[in-house]
């Protein structure tokens, strides 16, 4: 089934690449995740959203719209957005494979949303049920934030299934906003910009893009009323988007705004704005991104810190921020064609989004720290030390994961006037016009990626296959086919008149490697991380009985692939190494500091065998100490 993509730039958009409509994941690593998402996570999400009262809010708002006295609103002010994200996940799943149960759930929820809409198009159940004046507290009401998610769900419904129920609701709301939203009104949580831009692309209505552009241009002038201790940067209202040099404030808000601003930049051909966004992205990657691709180093405000403020144990790295990062990077990839954006998408997807849901699809992380210390017993349910939870009072992350996984096919490949580009590797097929490719691979466990041409036009075109930046020993087999040499961080390009049966085989030479941080990242000095292919690894307490992960260090750089470990799927490849375990001295005196000696006294560090597992898989065997960064033993 051919389904229009999540992001579909207009015919005149200033983009280098365009999404394909015929990519399909089949089996393999991500195929398995999509099956769990469909069979377990999405149905569970529907139950949890219903239990939260979000559906009841819509029912009560519908009765209120009919003149009956409304009931009390349940849940957060942004509860509507949980429904919309779940509906978007349902839509993309139906586009992948129709199902009577999915169709019935989608229809029931969509009709409920439509019934709750006011006669003039307005829709926000918290405002409708509490009687609060519309747009009177946009700093925290999330009215436009919810509208943006409604618009994205509506576009997904039409593109994936042809159903226009939500599209009519979203268009009426957007018409209302274009007509009645005060000129200086800005939501404290960006999101409507993406929704308006994509709704414009779907309907062709210029007013929607104009409003999105107005929202982006108004940022940075301290128009949002502030509460508490946060400054205007927390809500991206300190510096105009076109003038900013870095990202700041609440990480999810920053990513959603940047993604929406990129939509506006390409649709209006504002190359200065696009250049500013490119600078902000590169500064973020260079100074504010964790090894996993996670974003947000401060629990207070769920926010970015300063440059190189990337402590592993206090990392916030909200799952939603990682998803927002992928949304922004994908739009920048379409705009520029630069493989750096695809590299970050892959890193973030495997290591910052995937940890947000358990292997069984039933439990979630809101926060994704890179270290959990022994003895941690926080009261906050978001803390990784408490393990994944079945749901959260603020439940933005679980349905966000659902909609990304159900639409993941759309991020595999693109096309341009010269050919087809492959960005993410998974078993499946890619159709772009007259080209049909089949991809066979065991990625990310093995680096062999076989690309087979199944159908092709009879004129030359270019096949471009991304070589990840980490693949410094990549090789390419293409018997009788000339092409540019494979270079890490770019694309292996082959232009020719192809024939059915032609194939290009990538050998990305996946093997364990040690990674060190730049010196300015002082919290990781003297420590290393283990990576293997696109995956970041960690030490987990479950694999080291009798010792505490906090006391382990790496003694040698001879990393080795190992056989499966107990409690994790058989296809997971662990990495082993020789290490040391620090023995606490009896004369510590109860004070955690002592006179420095060099080198470290080896008699207080005994041998240990270390087992590293993929970071995304930790906490599936119970919560406990864990670390991505490991000290190197200096004997």
pLDDT at position 97, please? 95
Q: Which residues are catalytic?
A: 302, 396
Range of the domain at 103: 1-7+26-218+396-404
510/584: higher pLDDT: 510
Give the mean pLDDT of the chain: 94
What pLDDT, in 10s, does the model give residues 293-343? Answer: 999 999 999 999 999 999 999 999 999 999 999 999 999 999 999 999 999
* pLDDT beyond 60 at 495: yes
Q: Evaluate whether residue 74 is within a structural domain.
A: yes
Q: Evaluate whether residue 203 is within a structural domain.
A: yes
* pLDDT level of residue 482 (50, 70, 90 thresholds): low
* pLDDT beyond 90 at 228: no
Same domain, 265 and 181: no
C-alpha span between 77 and 40 (Å, rounded): 27
Which residue among 478, 508, 538 closes a domain? 508
Nearest of 164, 119, 173, 116 to residue 143 by alpha carbon: 173
Q: Evaluate whether residue 365 is within a structural domain.
A: no
What pLDDT, in 10s, does the model give residues 88-120? Answer: 999 999 999 999 999 999 999 999 999 999 999
Same domain, 135 and 161: yes
Report the pLDDT averaged over residues 128-142: 95
* pLDDT level of residue 487 (50, 70, 90 thresholds): confident
Same domain, 101 and 178: yes
Two tokens, residue 614: 């993929």
pLDDT at position 602, please? 47
Same domain, 504 and 518: no
Same domain, 521 and 498: no
The CATH number of the domain where 499 resides is what? 2.60.40
- Inter-axis angle of helices 54-65 and 42-51, to 10 degrees? 60
* pLDDT beyond 80 at 590: no
What are the φ and ψ backbone dihedral angles of 126, each rounded to 5 degrees?
A: -65, -45
Report the pLDDT averaged over residues 2-8: 92
C-alpha span between 64 and 43 (Å, rounded): 29
Nearest of 401, 362, 354, 359 to residue 535 by alpha carbon: 354
Q: Evaluate whether residue 133 is within a structural domain.
A: yes
Same domain, 481 and 549: no
- Other beta carbons within 10 Å of 588: 10
Contact 266, 335 (CB under 8 A): yes
* pLDDT level of residue 153 (50, 70, 90 thresholds): very high
* pLDDT level of residue 593 (50, 70, 90 thresholds): confident
Same domain, 489 and 517: no
Same domain, 496 and 573: no
Same domain, 481 and 613: no
Rg of the chain over Cα atoms, rounded to whole angstroms, equals 25
* pLDDT level of residue 69 (50, 70, 90 thresholds): low
Q: Evaluate whether residue 13 is within a structural domain.
A: no
C-alpha span between 211 and 208 (Å, rounded): 5
Domains held by the chain: number = 4
Q: How far is CA 570 from CA 179, 563, 566, 577, in A?
A: 57, 8, 9, 20
C-alpha span between 34 and 363 (Å, rounded): 15
Which residue among 448, 473, 508 closes a domain? 508
Go through 217-249 and write b for each residue having 16 or more CB atoms within 10 A of its CB, e for each that does not.
bbbbeeebeeeeebebbbbbbbbbbbebebbbb
Report the pLDDT averaged over residues 205-232: 93
C-alpha span between 268 and 298 (Å, rounded): 35
Same domain, 527 and 467: no
How much of the chain exceeds pLDDT 90, in percent? Answer: 89
Q: Evaluate whether residue 537 is within a structural domain.
A: yes
Same domain, 210 and 238: no
548 burial class (0-12, 13-18, 19+ CB within 10 angstroms)? Answer: middle
Report the pLDDT averaged over residues 378-404: 96
Same domain, 473 and 518: no
* pLDDT beyond 90 at 225: no
* pLDDT level of residue 635 (50, 70, 90 thresholds): low
Q: Evaluate whether residue 246 is within a structural domain.
A: yes
Which residue among 508, 532, 552 closes a domain? 508
Q: Is 121 left (phi over 0), alpha (psi -120 to 50) or beta?
A: left
What pLDDT, in 10s, does the model give residues 334-387? Answer: 999 999 999 999 999 999 999 999 999 999 999 999 999 999 989 999 999 999
* pLDDT beyond 70 at 180: yes
Q: Evaluate whether residue 118 is within a structural domain.
A: yes
C-alpha span between 344 and 180 (Å, rounded): 39
* pLDDT beyond 70 at 23: yes
Contact 387, 619 (CB under 8 A): yes
Report the pLDDT averaged over residues 185-192: 97
């Amino acid at each position: 089934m051919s389904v229009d993509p999540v992001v579909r730039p207009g015919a005149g958009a200033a983009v280098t690449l365009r999404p394909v409509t015929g990519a399909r994941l089949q089996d393999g690593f991500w195929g398995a995740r999509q099956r769990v998402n469909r069979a377990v996570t999405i149905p569970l999400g529907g139950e949890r959203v219903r239990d939260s009262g979000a559906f009841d809010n819509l029912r009560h708002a519908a009765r209120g719209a009919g003149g009956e006295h409304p009931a009390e609103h349940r849940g957060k002010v942004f509860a509507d957005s949980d429904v919309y994200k779940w509906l978007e996940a349902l839509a993309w799943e139906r586009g992948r494979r129709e199902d009577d149960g999915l169709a019935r759930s989608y229809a029931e929820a969509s009709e409920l949303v439509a019934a709750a809409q006011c006669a003039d198009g307005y829709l926000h159940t918290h405002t409708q049920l509490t009687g609060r004046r519309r747009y009177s507290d946009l700093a925290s009401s999330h009215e436009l934030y919810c509208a943006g998610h409604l618009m994205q769900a509506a576009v997904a419904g039409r593109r994936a299934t042809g159903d226009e129920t939500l599209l009519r609701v979203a268009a009426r709301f957007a018409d209302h906003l274009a007509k009645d939203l005060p000129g200086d009104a800005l939501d404290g949580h960006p999101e409507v910009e993406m929704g308006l831009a994509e709704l414009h692309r779907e309907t062709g209505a210029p007013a929607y893009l104009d409003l999105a552009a107005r929202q982006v241009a108004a940022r940075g002038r301290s128009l949002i009323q502030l509460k508490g201790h946060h400054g205007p940067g927390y809500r991206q209202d300190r510096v105009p988007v076109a003038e900013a040099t870095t990202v700041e404030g609440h990480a999810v808000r920053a990513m959603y705004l940047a993604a929406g601003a990129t939509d506006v930049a390409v649709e209006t051909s504002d190359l200065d704005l696009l250049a500013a966004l490119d600078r902000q992205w590169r500064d973020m990657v260079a100074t504010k991104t964790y090894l996993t691709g996670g974003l947000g180093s401060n629990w207070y405000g769920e926010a970015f810190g300063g440059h190189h403020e990337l402590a592993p144990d206090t990392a916030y790295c909200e799952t939603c921020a990682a998803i927002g990062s992928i949304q922004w990077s994908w739009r920048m990839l379409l705009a520029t064609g630069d493989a750096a954006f695809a590299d970050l998408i892959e890193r973030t997807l495997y290591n910052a989004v995937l940890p947000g849901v358990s292997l069984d699809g039933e439990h979630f992380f809101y926060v994704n720290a890179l270290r959990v210390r022994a003895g941690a017993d926080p009261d906050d349910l978001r803390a990784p030390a408490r393990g994944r939870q079945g749901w959260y009072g603020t439940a933005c992350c679980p349905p966000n994961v659902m909609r990304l996984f159900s639409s993941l096919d759309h991020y595999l490949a693109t096309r341009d006037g010269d050919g087809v580009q492959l960005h993410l590797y998974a078993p499946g097929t890619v159709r772009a016009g007259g080209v049909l490719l089949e991809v066979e691979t065991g990625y990310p466990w093995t680096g062999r990626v076989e690309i087979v041409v199944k159908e092709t036009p009879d004129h030359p075109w270019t096949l471009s296959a991304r070589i990840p930046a980490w693949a410094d020993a990549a090789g390419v087999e293409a018997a009788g086919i000339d092409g540019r040499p494979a270079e890490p961080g770019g694309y292996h390009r082959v232009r020719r008149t192809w024939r059915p049966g032609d194939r290009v085989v990538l050998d990305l030479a996946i093997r364990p490697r040690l990674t060190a941080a730049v010196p300015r990242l002082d919290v990781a000095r003297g420590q290393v991380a283990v990576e293997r292919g696109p995956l970041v690894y960690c030490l987990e307490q479950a694999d080291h009985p009798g010792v505490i992960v906090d006391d382990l260090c790496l003694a040698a750089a001879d990393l080795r692939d190992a056989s499966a470990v107990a409690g994790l799927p058989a296809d997971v490849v662990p990495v082993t190494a020789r290490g040391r375990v620090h023995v606490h001295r009896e004369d510590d005196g109860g004070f955690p500091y002592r006179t420095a000696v060099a080198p470290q006294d080896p008699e207080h560090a005994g041998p240990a065998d270390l087992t590293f597992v993929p970071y995304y898989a930790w906490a599936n065997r119970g919560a406990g100490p864990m670390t991505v960064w490991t000290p190197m033993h200096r004997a």
